[in-house]
Structure 1
Amino acid sequence: MTVTLITGANKGIGFETAKQLLELGHVVYIGARDIERGEKAAAALGARFVQLDVTDDASVSNALATISAAEGQLDVLVHNAGILGNELLDGPTALRVFDTNAVGIVRVTEAALPLLRKSSNPTVVTVSSSAGSFWAVNNPDRPEFHLPLALYSASKTAATMLTVQYAKSQPGIKFNALEPGTTATDMTAAFGIGRPPEESARAVVRLATLDVDGPTGTFQDETGELPW
């Protein structure tokens, strides 16, 4: 039995990742801030629900305590929760974006580490973005070159770096960051771009189901490793 927690999983890529991992036989916990939406998503999939706000220490602690009591371990953690934060470029917005997209990774990872260490094949996937890649945003041939998303991009750079640093400090656990591909979600609705979330979720599932000797400390998309 493989126990998986996905943050921000009541919709979009997180929801589709949960669906696909359930089909592979995982016990999936959908983490979501909104209880009603989270419970509805879990019920629709046959998953389990934990209230989890990645910006709230008590919420994170309670969510992992719930999983610990029910399962005794955690095999896969998917950091999927994220916000765009493109409404204003100011201090409060910056704090909110980084709190969700970067600091939230630290909160959840630190709370999850004791349970991950009990797994025979612990795996952590960070849904990051090549919008946070220096290579991509400075390459005129890449779509990221034209994205005016300073806070989102900077927070995703931090998310990828945190993933790499965790891979170095936790050699018994695989940590990989992912560019999932431009996806049609609530986050990208204003741009009118992206492919169906289930297609991008396949890339998440690939990293979430790595063998014991799989790679760690990488930043990838569906075709392999990316410079960043």
Structure 2
Amino acid sequence: MAKKSKQYVNAAEKIEKGKAYSLDEAVALVKELDFAKFDASIDVAYKLNLDTRQADQQLRGAFVLPNGSGKTQRVLVFARGEKAKEAEAAGADYVGEAELAEKIQNGWFDFDVVVATPDMMGQVGRLGRVLGPKGLMPNPKTGTVTMDVKKAVEEIKAGKITYRTDKAGNVQVPVGKVSFDDAKLIENLKAFHANILRLRPAAVKGRYVRSMTISSTFGPGVKVNFNELV
């Protein structure tokens, strides 16, 4: 286990052990305990009662936060013709076809999200070995394989985030920045929490959400009393 910094230890000591804070209290405390020298991200992490070995208990998708994530996303779009023009007009950073695929094959990755029209997936599919491990492969479930490239680019630029359960059934996503007003962070957290509840697989029995924790980039996690959010 990596050794915790003195700043982290000092911050963690201010969290009451075993306590699940109200959302308002948790947001205020996470911001208070942040010690990064930059505008740190604030993440929410869920431990869910899911058996991810079962296909119907794997959560994967995308969600547009009401107030965005605070992160500027560089969007690359594989499209041709009118769809390429739509992507450019919507604010895509890079738009193209084979020339972009070749650049990526040669090790270029100056982008954060890849969108592709279905007819381009023949070319994009060949990039699976390089895009897949970085989590950049377009997927219909996250809205990144679509003919509506205008909507896809606009949503990503507006703060669309993607989520996916890991093998242990955990989900972690950014919900804003330390510089955000508390009210905006709370609105983002409530909206994403409602989305998590909505996605509950029918096969799950008993408790679905086991824990909900928020933290800043380097700061300790603060448990949230998520039962108050139902």
Calculate the TM-score normalised by the size of structure 1: 0.31
User: Whose RCO is larger (CA < 8 A, sep 6+)?
Assistant: 2
More helix by share: 1
Instruction: Report which of the two structures shows the higher radius of gyration computed on alpha carbons.
Output: 2
